[in-house]
Structure 1
């Protein structure tokens, strides 16, 4: 391997390390923001409960199995969190119209309102980070993220 190839490989490794550092910053900040958003929804609940709330808000009524699979939580944890959410009036159970034995879970009006309020706070924190960017910089960032995300599994 010649010196020019070694320099290119070294530079590439350094760039990949810097990318990893920045991705770690995004992941850590995102996690912290999710925890704060969950606390603003209801500080008495674990952040995992807000994952269920957000899923129901985004996708609508579902059974506990779907929620468990979609949030990558075990069935017993989902069941425990759903009971807490129901006791606090954020989630309700209804008989499934397609299968009378099945139960569908959905947000109550209180649950929807609290979710909207919590997500507004989260959006504000996100938009503060890009508030001073010009449109060109924002468009470039969006395109780079699209390209990065299109290669995810």
Structure 2
């Protein structure tokens, strides 16, 4: 391997390390905001319960199986958390219209209202970071994130 190739490889490694640092910062900040939003939603619940609330808020009614798969939680954890959310009046279950044996979980009106309030803090923290960006910079950032997330191939 010649020096030029070694320099390119070393440069690429440094760039990938910098990317990893930046992604870690985003993930850490997002996690901290999720924990704060979860406490704002209902401080008596574990933050994991708020993952379920956020999923239902974003995507609507679904089965416990889909919640389990989508949140990377085992079925027993989802079941336990959903029962807590139901007992507090945040989640309801209804018979699936397409499969009479299936049950769909969704947020109650109270759950939706509390979720919106809890998410305001998280959204404001992220919006504050981009508030000074012009539209072109924001569009570029979105495009890069879509490429990174492989959005175009889904």
Question: Is the TM value for this pair above 0.5?
Answer: yes
Question: In structure 2, do the counterparts of structure 1 residues 29 and 100 end up closer, same or farther at CA, with 3 Å as the change threshold?
Answer: same
State TM-score, norm by structure 2.
0.88
Which residue in 1 is equivalent to 2:51? 51
Q: Deviations over 1:111-130 (max 9, x none)?
A: 01011111222111110111
RMSD over aligned Cα, in angstroms?
Answer: 2.0
Which residue in 1 is equivalent to 2:15? 15
1:7 shift after superposition: 1.7
Question: In structure 2, do the counterparts of structure 1 residues 139 and 93 end up closer, same or farther at CA, with 3 Å as the change threshold?
Answer: closer
CA distance in 2, matches of 1:143, 1:102: 38
Question: In structure 2, do the counterparts of structure 1 residues 136 and 62 end up closer, same or farther at CA, with 3 Å as the change threshold?
Answer: closer
Runs (5+) with no aligned partner, structure 1: none
Runs (5+) with no aligned partner, structure 2: none
CA distance in 1, matches of 2:6, 2:111: 57
1:41 shift after superposition: 0.9
Question: In structure 2, do the counterparts of structure 1 residues 2 and 66 end up closer, same or farther at CA, with 3 Å as the change threshold?
Answer: closer
Q: Which runs of structure 2 are paired with 1:65-80 in the superposition (5 Å)?
A: 65-80=65-80
